[in-house]
Amino acid sequence: MSSAILRDVTLRDGLQLTGKVLPVEQKADLVRRLLGLGVPALEIGSMARPDLVPPMANTMELIAALSPEELQHCWVWVATPRHVEKAAAAGVRNFQYCFSVSDAHNKANIGRSTEDSVAAMPDAVRLATSVGGSIQLCLATSFTCPFDGPVDPERVIAIANDPRTAGADDIVLADTLGQAHPGEVAALVSAVHTRTPQRRIVFHGHDTWGMGVANTLAAITAGATMVDGALGGLGGCPFAPGASGNTATEDILFATRPTWFTPTTLATLVDLSENLRADLGEPNRSRTAEGARSKAEAFEWVSQRSTGS
């Protein structure tokens, strides 16, 4: 299972519902700590309007605080060509161009129709490639919509195959509400993998209904080679009623066991998560983090609470 790359999305999707703006210095420190542990990719912020998503207000300052080498591992959420242009000028080279498969959610989330977002994507691709960047096609509500209900998989396939989205290097399939089950996830990932131009498939899952890890593993088995998670299961979409936290980074890593992930790494991740959640006043949603603090001391993955982080 370790063939899939984990992308930690704590600093974007993880913070969206918290209502608190973390200082730039704290965000930059978390970026460096996660990269230092071996986490290969991070989503660090969003170009969304700060009045609509206040925790993202200092994304540009965070970008400026990071080195070009650090930014090589970092992704930023964008929804318009103008977003790409501004982020690129600041030094971003990895862009996640996101819109919803369902019109109702796209209008609530971005303020335009899905067709409008698709129509604007060639300009976003052009701007990203002009600076040597990489751009992802991120499809929110790939499975269900909070307003319209189930999403037809053929609509996802149609968008993925639309010539206007062809410039994307990756396709992100997002279970925005966490309502999908492993069979659905496997079927859609497999269909996109086999019926669209060959691009990396990314799975972005939420754990609202307790299927986050199961869905992530199903996605990997079906062909996804990057998966998203957030520390402690933080996160959710402020414009999607019923959406709760992301699948926990700790849980995904414990299930997939990449070579860089060790009991010591887990202990540090749990410390980072506890400190962050204490600052935010958020609960822990990671079962692995709970296990790491258990009394099963004969198990090597159990760790004692750190006092130095």
φ and ψ of 21, to 5 deg: -90, 115
**Single-letter code of the amino acid located at 114:** T
Strand partners, 231: none
Which helix or strand (DSSP H or E) is residue 165 part of?
none
The burial class, CB within 10 Å (0-12 / 13-18 / 19+), for 221 is middle
Which residues are tagged catalytic? 237
What are the tokens at 288? 């692995």
pLDDT along the chain (309 residues), means of 10: 86 89 97 98 95 92 98 98 98 98 92 96 98 98 95 98 96 96 98 93 96 98 97 78 82 97 97 95 94 90 65
| Global pTM value | 0.95
Task: Return the closest-CA partner of residue 77 out of 237, 207, 215, 187.
Answer: 237
Q: What does the alpha-carbon distance between residue 67 and residue 304 come to, in Å, rounded to a whole number?
A: 33
Show the CA angle centred on residue 43, arms to residues 61 and 83, nearest 5°.
60
For residue 296, the model assigns a pLDDT of 85
Provide DSSP, 166-209. TT-SEEEEE-TTS---HHHHHHHHHHHHHHSSS-EEEEE-B-TT
